[in-house]
Amino acid sequence: MCGICGVYDLNGKRKDKLALLEKMNAAQKHRGPDDQGVFLEGPAGLGHVRLSIIDLSSAGHQPMLYGDRYALVFNGEIYNYIELRDELIKAGYVFSTHCDTEVVLAAYDHWGEDCQTRFNGFWAIALYDRKEESLFLSRDRYGVKPLYYTGQPGYFVFASEIKTLLQDENIPRKANDTVIFDYLVNGFVDCTEETFFQGILRLPAGHCMVLDKAGNQRMKAYYELPYSEQLIGDVNDEMVKTFHKLFQESVKLRLRADVPVGSCLSGGLDSSSIVCESSRQLREQKAGDDQKTFSSCYQGDANDERAFIEAVVEKTGVDAHYIYPTGDMLFEDLDHLIYTQDEPFVSTSMYASYCVMKLAHENHIKVLLDGQGADEILCGYRKARVYYIKRLLHAKKLGRAVREILYYLPYMRKGKNVSFLAELNMLKQFLGKTSSSDIRHRYLEESFAHRTLKNSYENNERFLLNDFDKIVLPALLRYVDRNSMAFSIEDRLPFLDYRLVEYAMRLPLNAKIDNGYSKAIMRKALDMPKIIRERKDKIGFYTPENAWMAAHSQTYKALFTAPDFRAGKYIAAQKIADDWDQLTSGKDDIGLFRYICLEKWMRAFDVQSA
C-alpha cells in the first residue's frame, strides 16, 4: 500500500517537476513511510511513497522500471499475483523480485490493458510508456483505492490524495457548489467523479485513462458489475456452500503479507465473520497465536457493542484491543480528521474508524481486515428492507410482505437513535418524495437554497446497485482509505473480492432478507457466535454524536458567529446560531455536524467560494 503522484506536461511549462514531485511525496508520506522515489523523463514525472507489505526488501522500490520501456507507480495489492506470476513465467517472463509490482508490469507488457480484468485486488496504477510517451492510469473495479486528477490541455496532475494535488500552487482551491448542495441537502458524498474542489476529479471505479503525446485523453470503463434483481428464488444448500467457499478464498488471499495481519472488530456480522474465518486459517498456518483485533467502544452507552465483541474474542482467542472515543478526543482530533479526509463527511461516525486505526498503529500493525461492502451486496441496511417489502407488495406477495414486517418490527430501534428515521428520509429521497420545504433547506443561504439538485437516484430498478456504486459504498471507501493511510495501515476488504461481489449480486432478494433477518445467506454460510448470528438490530458506525457536540457546544456555535465565516455563500450562519439550542437538542434532524464540517474544511484547506 502506497501513495502515488505524477505530472504529465506536454508543453514543458513546468520547469520544477522534480521539486513539485518531492513536495507531493512529502504531503502523502503517511501513506508510505518506508521508502520513496521519483522518476523524470520527457513529459512525465512520477512520484511514490511506499508502505512495505509484500517483499520488504529494496527490490520493491518504486517508481519501478521494466526493461527499457515502462515506468510504474502502483498503490494497492494484487492478491493473486503469485498465480499470475506463474502464468507469466510459463509465457517466458523472468522475474527479479517477489513483489506484485513487477507482476503488474509484466502483465501489462503481456496482456496490455486487458491485464486489469485478470487482477484480483485493489489498485491505483500510473504507468508511463517511455517508447510511446503516453501515460496509462487505472483504478480497481470498485474504487477501493483512490486516484484524483486535474489539469488543463497539455498539463495533467494526479495523486492518491487531494492534499497531494494541492502542492501544485497553480491548482485553485475553489469550492464545488454542486457537490456542496448535494452534501448539505441529501448528505451525499463521493457519488460522482466530481469532488468538493472545483476542477479536481476522481477517476471512476472500474475505469482507465490514457493520455498520449498528441494531447488526446481517452477514458473508458473496463468493468461493469453484473447485476440482476430477482425478487424470490430458490435458496438451497449449494448456494450457501458456494458463498462460503468464495468467502474463504477471499480471506485466504487477503492474509497474504510479509507482515502480521490484524482485524477491525465491531461486534457486527461482517467483522465477526472475518475474524472467525481469518483466525481459523491462521491457526491452520500455525500463525494465529498473535492475531490482534481492534475495536471502538463506549462505556456506559446503550449502543456499546462490547458484549458482542467479547463473544468473538472468546470464540477465537484473539488478542483484543479496545479504544474508548469521547467528545473531548473528537474535539482535539477534529481538525486533523478533516485534513485526513480531504473532503467533508456527514457525521462523527468516521471518528470511530479513525480511533481504531490509530490504536492499530500504536500496536505496530500495518495490515487490517475490515468489513466494508457486506451491507451493500447483502441488503444490510434498514432501507433495503423497506425497499424489499415495497417490492413484495408491488408483486402482490402479500403474505411474505406481512411476514417480513411482523418479524422485523420488534427490532426497529427507536427513541434516541435517529439513524432509522434518517434512513427512511433517505429512502424518500431515492423514491423522489422530497420537496423544497424540507427542513434541510431552512438553514441554507437563501439564494443557494433554491438550487436544483443535479444528481438524482430515483431509478427504483437500480436501488440496491446505487447503494453499491454511488450512494453509500464510495463514501465508506474514501473514509476507510484516508483513516487507515493516515496511520500507515493497509485496510483489506474480503467482502469486496470481485468473485464474491458478482455472486452476491446475482442472488435473489430472499437469499439476503428472510424472516426479518438481513444478510440471510451470510448467517447460514459463515462462522460466528450464535449471539451475533441471531442479531436483527444494526448499530452501524455508531458514535454518540449529540452528546459529543454538546460537550463543546459553545465552541462549535462560535464557528457560525465568527467574522471570518467561510461558508457564508452556502449556510445561513445566523439562523443556525439563533436556533442553536433547538438544533443541538436533537429535535430537528438537519445533520448539524455536516454544517460544522463544511466550515472547518474550508478553513483547513483555505477553500474559497466559487
Mean pLDDT value across residues 323-333: 96
Q: Which of 167, 190, 221 is the last residue of a domain?
A: 221
Of 173, 174, 180, 175, nearest to 449 by C-alpha is 180
Residue 225, judged by CB atoms within 10 A of its CB (0-12, 13-18, 19+), counts as middle
Mean pLDDT value across residues 541-563: 92
Peptide bond into 63 cis (omega under 30): yes
What positions carry a catalytic annotation? 2
Number of structural domains in the chain? 2
Q: Which three cell numbers stand for residue 315?
A: 470464540
- The helix/strand count (H/E) of the chain reads as 25, 17
- pLDDT value at 455 more than 80: no
Q: Which of 200, 221, 242 is the last residue of a domain?
A: 221
Instruction: State CA 32 to chain mean position distance.
Output: 19
Mean pLDDT value across residues 319-323: 97
Mean pLDDT value across residues 366-395: 93
- pLDDT value at 349 more than 60: yes
Mean pLDDT value across residues 232-248: 97
What is the residue range of 564's domain?
Answer: 545-604
Q: Does 211 map to a domain? A: yes
* CATH number of residue 159's parent domain: 3.60.20.10
Using the 8-state DSSP alphabet, how is residue 471 labeled? Answer: I
Place of cell 452528546: 547
Q: Which of 171, 199, 221 is the last residue of a domain?
A: 221
- Residue 420 — very low, low, confident or very high, per pLDDT cuts 50/70/90? low
Q: Does 157 map to a domain? A: yes
Q: Does 25 map to a domain? A: yes
- pLDDT value at 431 more than 70: no
Residue 479, judged by CB atoms within 10 A of its CB (0-12, 13-18, 19+), counts as buried
**What digits encode the pLDDT tens for the residues 522-539?**
999 999 999 999 988 777
Q: What is the pTM of this model?
A: 0.94
Q: Does 501 map to a domain? A: no
- pLDDT value at 513 more than 90: yes
| pLDDT score for 456 | 63
Q: Does 328 map to a domain? A: no
Q: Does 35 map to a domain? A: yes
**What digits encode the pLDDT tens for the residues 247-277?**
999 999 999 999 999 999 999 999 999 999 9
Mean pLDDT value across residues 94-121: 96
